[in-house]
């Protein structure tokens, strides 16, 4: 009999019919929320990475459930997004059909993996029932002042007459029109003020039970830096003050080295300063040129830096010096103030720029060698001593930072500032397949929020694809009346970034059928936080930052009471193909999970996925290893029925309890591979007869990994379903018999020794004699063990003993040998145990080697061989 998809389907059906994984709030039970990152349901179907992800989560959920937790383990679909829209353009399928077909395909495939989801809580973000609440939250954020509208640049393809996502831009050209250059176009768009929570987002990272590297990535992403904002007077050629400008710097210590300043191309002052001057045309051309370039092109490190003089100057308040003002492509408008005080001697970028345009340099921080401005080949960016810096000369620059910041404050030249790399979240997408932004654009009243009662703003089905933004092609959608003045108005046709959807889906799972509110606060109160979140590292920054932001914003609005959404995060590794490369369609090394399930079984696939390596590490697909997992599952499936139910011997019982103890820990810590090694070994140690308790405990432990076959076997043993609902076995420390294990190990060792001697001799044995070590050697051995820490004392300690002294050289020699290898000494059985376990084993040895076997105490033998006997290592004579 083989275990395969038929049996698996049977159990999937029965689980479903009995609704055994339905989660219900129950204040009397401890809850546990296990969540996997929900998938984008692509037409390609489930890939191996998904299967891996869900297997990890399902094992954990089943484990927690069996351990008495009230487990919430839901699944849903991130079903808005670009691929569906591309399919509409390419294959002429409506995104809705494409998506819904893909979802049902996903569900089918996920069911075949045997995942224990509560399917009643499923969400699909493209349904009005879901996205209505996106719109609702958008309005709530607006009320709180967390939304603003601002002009921002987008990628624009003139042929498509449409906005492109970054990944649709290939070599600065449109992905569909390879010869059409992408333009940069300015549009009014919506931003969410994620930066409001920048500090909290940063501060709470330390308390998260997340992988260290993800935490570090988040810290870097938020990129908090302390610095000083300095104010400079802007002057014209003649030195007359015409304006003021601010810059942010983390290196005030270098202000005496400022020789010029650069503004970002987007900085509004650029235009202001050149307007009406002879530089205007040239500078504005340059600015437009810069803006036209894609962000990637502009920001790639190592790119040559370009800039132009603006015809204006500024005065350095520290030195009173007048320096030129430039515009440059390497200045970023959205970091700091969009203006950079340039210190070419001490900043690599400024250095390159200054060399190119022959701008002056001044060394103001000195290393312990002489720096020659003329000969410097790169900026000096490490620490040193202040020089050429007036009153600050001689200070270590580290100390000067604080002093100079204080001076700037006192004199009113600047103030301490904190700057972040984290930017506000641009959520507008000029796309069809997303949540319509609930705004009405009125000529009179401007951007007016749709009244809450009018939600949802439904995404219309009737649109045309391939002609710009599809939403613009539906007049009924676009034309509306202004909620304020009741005059004619147009709907916002931008839709939301799909990260908006995924920022709170875990809350919706808590109460997914609610049509009155996004979720019931009490239900969310019961289930939140997500105790264990599981997914790939690719979402380290975006998704996980947005979801954290959402949680904090919703907390402040009273929707939830938790600060953080995900208490613990587990990152699975990536699966590589047979060829060692990451499994991907373009590599052509993809293995399809559904095929594998059909050929082997879901249980075998699950077993394989989590047994090959620790699940947080990358691993390579291996047909051989999969085969071996399959064989083991079959062996269990067929083997359990053959075991006679009766009594387990003490040995197996001891192993069982030890295994329960260890496997419980292993699963808790995601050491699934260890757990499976131990379960394999436990099963292999089973005899022809075992107790019901032993077999059932084994099945229970295997169950999270191979849920179907264990259910089947459970039933075959005469139990009522469901194994899934039984409780996890507990271990009894008193039944773990380490001596028994030592005996087992000892017997095995003796057998091996006999075998290798026979091999060496190369003849059939006529008689085998085992000599048990004499008493005095045990004594010496234990003395040596007791003196592990000070091996040099062993000999003298041993020689105190009369018995040993009597042996003379032989005793000392033995002790010396032990002292030399002190590190390798292990505790051994005492003589009586050794002897009795050997006697017990004689029968088995005689069977194995087909000859008479005798056990003798070395003391009682004159055989030369007997002198070799040592504790744990009886001398063996083969005749």
Partner RNA sequence: GCAGGGGUAGCCAAGUGGUCAAAGGCGCUAGGUUCAGGGCCUAGUCGAUUAGUUCGUUCGAGGGUUCGACUCCCUUCCCCUGCACCA
Residues 217-256 that bind RNA (CB under 7 A): 217, 220-221, 223, 225, 227, 247-251
The reply to whether 336 sits near RNA by the rule CB under 7 A is yes
- Part in contact with RNA (CB under 7 A); list of ranges 87-95, 308-316, 677-685, 694-702: 677-685
For 299, the token pair is: 């920001």
Of 84, 510, 856, 875, the one binding RNA by CB under 7 A = 875
The reply to whether 402 sits near RNA by the rule CB under 7 A is no
Q: List 148's β-bridge partners, or say none.
A: 191
The reply to whether 680 sits near RNA by the rule CB under 7 A is yes
Judged by DSSP in three states, 6 sits in helix
Residues 75-104 that bind RNA (CB under 7 A): none
CA atoms within 13 A on the CB side of 69: 16
Contacts with RNA by CB under 7 A: the residue count is 88
Longest dimension (CA), the chain: 117
* Cβ proximity to RNA, 161 vs 745, nearer residue: 745
The total of other beta-carbon atoms located within 10 Å of residue 619's CB is 19
The reply to whether 349 sits near RNA by the rule CB under 7 A is yes
Q: What is the dihedral of CA 645, 647, 651, 657, to 10 degrees?
A: 80
Residues 441-480 that bind RNA (CB under 7 A): none
- Tokens 């654009």 correspond to 441
The reply to whether 692 sits near RNA by the rule CB under 7 A is no
* Cβ proximity to RNA, 163 vs 675, nearer residue: 675
- Part in contact with RNA (CB under 7 A); list of ranges 47-55, 124-132, 211-219, 838-846: 211-219
* Cβ proximity to RNA, 303 vs 805, nearer residue: 303
Residues 794-853 that bind RNA (CB under 7 A): 820-821, 823-824, 826
Q: In which element (H, E) is residue 124 found?
A: strand 123-124
For the CB of residue 410, give the shortest distance to RNA in the complex, in Å.
20
- The span from the CA of 91 to the CA of 88, in Å, is 6
Q: How far, in Å, are 135, 425, 445, 478 from residue 148 at the CA level? A: 15, 10, 16, 22
The reply to whether 330 sits near RNA by the rule CB under 7 A is yes
Of 145, 167, 300, 800, the one binding RNA by CB under 7 A = 300
Interface characters, 538-577, with RNA (x: CB under 7 A): x-xx------------------------------------
For the CB of residue 789, give the shortest distance to RNA in the complex, in Å.
7
My answer on whether omega of the bond before 722 falls inside 30° of 0, hence cis, is yes
For the CB of residue 138, give the shortest distance to RNA in the complex, in Å.
25
Residues 647-676 that bind RNA (CB under 7 A): 671, 673-674
The reply to whether 277 sits near RNA by the rule CB under 7 A is no
Residue 185 has phi, psi (to 5 degrees) of: -125, 140
The reply to whether 599 sits near RNA by the rule CB under 7 A is no
Judged by DSSP in three states, 512 sits in coil
For the CB of residue 181, give the shortest distance to RNA in the complex, in Å.
19
CA dihedral sign of residues 756, 762, 764, 770: negative
* Cβ proximity to RNA, 512 vs 572, nearer residue: 572
The reply to whether 677 sits near RNA by the rule CB under 7 A is yes
- The span from the CA of 815 to the CA of 803, in Å, is 13
Please list, in sequence order, all residues whose beta carbon lies within 8 angstroms of the beta carbon of residue 613, skipping any fewer than 6 positions away: 573, 619, 673
For the CB of residue 539, give the shortest distance to RNA in the complex, in Å.
10
The reply to whether 537 sits near RNA by the rule CB under 7 A is yes
The total of other beta-carbon atoms located within 10 Å of residue 612's CB is 22
- The span from the CA of 387 to the CA of 391, in Å, is 9
For the CB of residue 287, give the shortest distance to RNA in the complex, in Å.
14
* Cβ proximity to RNA, 554 vs 875, nearer residue: 875
* Cβ proximity to RNA, 6 vs 745, nearer residue: 745
The total of other beta-carbon atoms located within 10 Å of residue 193's CB is 17
CA dihedral sign of residues 512, 518, 522, 525: positive
For the CB of residue 210, give the shortest distance to RNA in the complex, in Å.
12
The reply to whether 195 sits near RNA by the rule CB under 7 A is no
The reply to whether 333 sits near RNA by the rule CB under 7 A is yes
Q: Is 746 in contact with 831 (CB distance < 8 Å)?
A: no
Taking each continuous run of H as one helix and of E as one strand, the counts in the chain are 30, 34
Of 145, 276, 320, 580, the one binding RNA by CB under 7 A = 580
- Hey, which bits of 319-438 come out as E strands? 322-328, 339-342, 365-366, 385-386, 414-419, 425-426, 428-429
Residues 607-646 that bind RNA (CB under 7 A): 612-614, 617-620, 622-625, 627-628, 631, 635
For the CB of residue 340, give the shortest distance to RNA in the complex, in Å.
4
Residues 719-778 that bind RNA (CB under 7 A): 748, 750, 752-753, 755-757, 760-761
Q: How far, in Å, are 283, 310, 331 from residue 289 at the CA level? A: 10, 16, 14
The reply to whether 157 sits near RNA by the rule CB under 7 A is no
């Amino acid at each position: 009999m083989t275990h395969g998809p038929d049996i698996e389907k049977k159990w999937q059906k029965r689980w479903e019919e009995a609704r055994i994984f339905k989660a219900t709030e129950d204040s009397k039970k401890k809850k546990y929320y296990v969540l996997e990152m929900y998938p984008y349901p692509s037409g390609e179907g489930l890939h191996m990475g998904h299967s891996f992800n869900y297997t990890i989560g399902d094992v954990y959920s089943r484990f927690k459930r069996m351990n008495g937790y009230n487990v919430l383990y839901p699944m849903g679909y991130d079903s808005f997004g670009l691929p569906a829209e591309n399919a509409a353009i390419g294959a002429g399928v409506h995104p809705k059909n494409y998506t819904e077909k893909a979802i049902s395909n996903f569900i089918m495939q996920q069911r075949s993996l045997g995942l224990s989801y509560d399917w009643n809580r499923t969400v699909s973000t493209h349904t009005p029932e879901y996205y209505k609440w996106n719109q609702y939250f958008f309005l709530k954020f607006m009320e709180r002042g967390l939304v603003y509208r601002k002009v921002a640049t987008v990628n624009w393809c003139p042929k498509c007459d449409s906005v492109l996502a970054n990944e649709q831009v290939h070599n600065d050209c449109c992905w569909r029109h390879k010869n059409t250059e992408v333009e940069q176009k300015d549009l009014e768009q919506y931003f969410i003020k994620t930066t409001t929570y920048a500090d909290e987002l940063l501060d709470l990272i330390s308390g998260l039970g997340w992988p260290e590297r993800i935490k570090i990535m988040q810290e870097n992403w938020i990129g908090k830096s302390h610095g000083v904002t300095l104010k400079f007077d802007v002057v014209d050629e003649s030195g007359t003050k015409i304006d003021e400008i601010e810059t942010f710097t983390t290196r005030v210590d270098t202000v005496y080295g400022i020789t010029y300043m650069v503004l970002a191309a987007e900085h509004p002052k650029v235009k202001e300063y050149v307007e009406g001057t002879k530089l205007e045309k040239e500078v504005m051309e340059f600015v437009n040129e810069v803006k036209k370039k894609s962000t990637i092109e502009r920001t790639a490190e190592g790119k040559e830096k370009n800039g132009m003089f603006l015809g204006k100057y500024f005065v350095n308040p520290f030195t009173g010096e007048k320096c030129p003002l430039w515009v440059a492509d390497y200045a970023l408008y959205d970091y700091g103030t969009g203006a950079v005080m340039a210190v070419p001697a001490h900043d690599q970028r400024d250095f390159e720029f200054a060399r190119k345009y022959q701008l002056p340099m001044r060394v103001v921080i000195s290393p312990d060698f002489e720096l020659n401005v003329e000969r410097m080949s790169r900026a000096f960016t490490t620490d040193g001593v202040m020089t050429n810096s007036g009153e600050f000369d001689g200070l270590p620059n580290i100390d000067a930072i604080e002093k100079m910041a204080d001076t700037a404050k006192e004199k009113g030249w600047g103030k301490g500032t904190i700057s972040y790399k984290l930017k506000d979240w641009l959520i507008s997408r000029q796309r069809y397949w997303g949540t319509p932004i609930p705004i009405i654009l009125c000529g009179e009243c401007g951007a007016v929020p749709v009244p809450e009662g009018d939600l949802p703003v439904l995404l219309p089905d009737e649109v045309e694809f391939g002609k710009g933004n599809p939403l613009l092609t539906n007049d009924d959608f676009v034309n509306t009346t202004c909620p304020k003045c009741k005059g004619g108005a147009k709907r916002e046709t931008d839709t939301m970034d799909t990260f908006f959807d995924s920022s709170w889906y875990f809350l919706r799972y808590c109460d997914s059928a609610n049509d009155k509110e996004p979720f019931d606060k009490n239900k969310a109160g019961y289930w939140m936080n997500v105790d264990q979140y599981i997914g790939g590292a690719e979402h380290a920054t975006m998704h996980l930052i947005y979801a954290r932001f959402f949680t904090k914003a919703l907390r402040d609005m009273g929707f939830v009471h938790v600060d953080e959404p995900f208490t613990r995060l587990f990152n699975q590794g990536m699966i590589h193909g047979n060829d060692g490369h990451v499994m991907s369609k373009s590599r052509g090394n993809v293995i399809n999970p559904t095929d594998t399930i059909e050929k082997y079984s879901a249980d075998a696939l699950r077993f394989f996925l989590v047994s090959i390596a620790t699940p947080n590490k990358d691993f390579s697909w291996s047909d051989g290893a999969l085969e071996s997992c399959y064989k083991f599952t079959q062996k269990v499936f067929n083997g359990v029925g053959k075991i006679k139910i009766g009594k387990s011997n003490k040995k197996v019982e001891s192993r069982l309890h030890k295994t329960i103890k260890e496997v419980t820990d292993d699963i808790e810590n995601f050491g699934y591979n260890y757990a499976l090694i131990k379960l394999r070994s436990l099963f292999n140690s089973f005899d022809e007869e075992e107790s019901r308790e032993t077999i059932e405990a084994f099945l229970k432990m295997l169950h999270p990994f191979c849920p179907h076959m264990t259910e089947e076997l459970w039933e075959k043993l005469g139990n009522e379903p469901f194994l899934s609902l039984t409780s996890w076995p507990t271990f009894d420390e008193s039944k773990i018999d380490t001596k028994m294990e030592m005996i087992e190990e000892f017997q095995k060792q003796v057998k091996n020794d006999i075998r290798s001697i026979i091999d060496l001799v190369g003849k059939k044995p006529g008689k085998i004699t085992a000599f048990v070590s004499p008493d005095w050697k045990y004594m010496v051995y234990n003395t040596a063990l007791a003196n592990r820490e000070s091996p040099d004392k062993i000999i003298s300690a041993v020689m105190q003993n009369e018995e040993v002294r009597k042996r003379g050289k032989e005793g000392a020699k033995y002790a010396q040998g032990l002292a030399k290898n002190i590190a390798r000494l292990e505790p051994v059985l005492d003589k009586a145990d050794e002897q009795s376990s050997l006697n017990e084993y004689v029968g088995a040895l005689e069977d194995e080697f087909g000859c008479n076997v005798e056990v003798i105490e070395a003391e009682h033998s004159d055989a030369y061989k007997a002198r070799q006997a040592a504790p744990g290592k009886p001398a063996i004579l083969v005749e």
